[in-house]
């Protein structure tokens, strides 16, 4: 089923020190499923380095994208989310995706961005054990699992969980299609 997500469009965030696998694995899996992926960073056309040195060139700047143009949002981990969560435009985009009931998928430290956008209150989530307290303090309901799906939210803990994370994204998106 190579085209199960044909016609759908996903937004990914990128910035320096993103977790390489947590961006590239879901990006390629969604493309494989027929979706279009747009990578947005602080600047358009800039090369950002992952934690392991793998480069990712942004397709667009964060301030040029709108939630209405996408069907889902994917937030990779690494140290990148700690910086991007300070950007009011990033937080507004996450709030807009949540208000619209669209997919918000965060893995590992990617959960920092939805925490700062205040969209996790009462939501079942997982994430890196290093941000468990942050998630709980934001009102989230912590579960230690490879993937947690709660409505439009899909969360995972670490790179080893990527197969489950991508299956969760597909499950949510195919349920909405």
Domain ranges across the chain: 9-176
Query: Tokens standing for 98?
Result: 């949540």
Token pair of 170, please? Answer: 């597909």
3 pLDDT tier (thresholds 50, 70, 90): confident
Cβ burial of 109 (10 Å; 0-12, 13-18, 19+) is buried
| Mean pLDDT (the chain, rounded) | 97
Give the model's pLDDT for residue 176. 74
Q: Which of these, 160, 7, 10, lies nearest to 75 by C-alpha position?
A: 10
| pLDDT above 70 as % of the chain | 98
Architecture of domain 9-176: 3-Layer(aba) Sandwich (3.40)
Q: How confident is the model at residue 67 (pLDDT cuts 50, 70, 90)?
A: very high
Q: What are residue 47's DSSP bridge partners? A: 57
- Dist CA 40 CA 113 (whole Å): 14
Alpha carbon distance 137, 74 (integer Å): 22
Pick the catalytic residue from 56, 108, 153, 166.
108
Confidence class for position 84, pLDDT limits 50, 70, 90: very high
Residues of the chain with pLDDT > 90, as a percent, come to 97
| 153 is a catalytic site residue | no
User: Residue 108 catalytic?
Assistant: yes
Strands 47-49 and 36-41: unpaired
Q: Is the dihedral of CA 98, 145, 158, 109 positive or negative?
A: positive
Residue 110 has a pLDDT of 98
CA 5 to CA 2: how far, in whole Å? 8
């Amino acid at each position: 089923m190579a085209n199960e997500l044909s016609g759908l469009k996903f937004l990914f965030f990128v910035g320096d020190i993103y977790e390489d696998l947590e961006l590239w694995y879901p990006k390629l899996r969604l493309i494989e499923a027929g979706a279009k992926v747009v990578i947005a960073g602080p600047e358009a056309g800039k090369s950002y380095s992952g934690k392991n040195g793998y480069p990712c060139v942004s397709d667009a700047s964060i301030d040029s994208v709108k939630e209405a143009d996408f069907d889902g949002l994917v937030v990779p981990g690494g140290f990148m989310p700690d910086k991007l969560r300070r950007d009011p435009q990033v937080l507004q985009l996450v709030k807009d995706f949540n208000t619209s009931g669209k997919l918000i998928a965060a893995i590992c430290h990617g959960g920092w961005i939805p925490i700062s956008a205040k969209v996790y209150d009462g939501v079942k989530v997982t994430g890196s054990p290093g941000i468990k307290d942050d998630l709980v303090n934001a009102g989230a309901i912590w579960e230690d699992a490879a993937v947690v799906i709660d409505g439009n939210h899909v969360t995972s803990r670490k790179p080893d969980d990527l197969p489950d994370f991508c299956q969760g994204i597909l499950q949510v998106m195919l349920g909405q299609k």
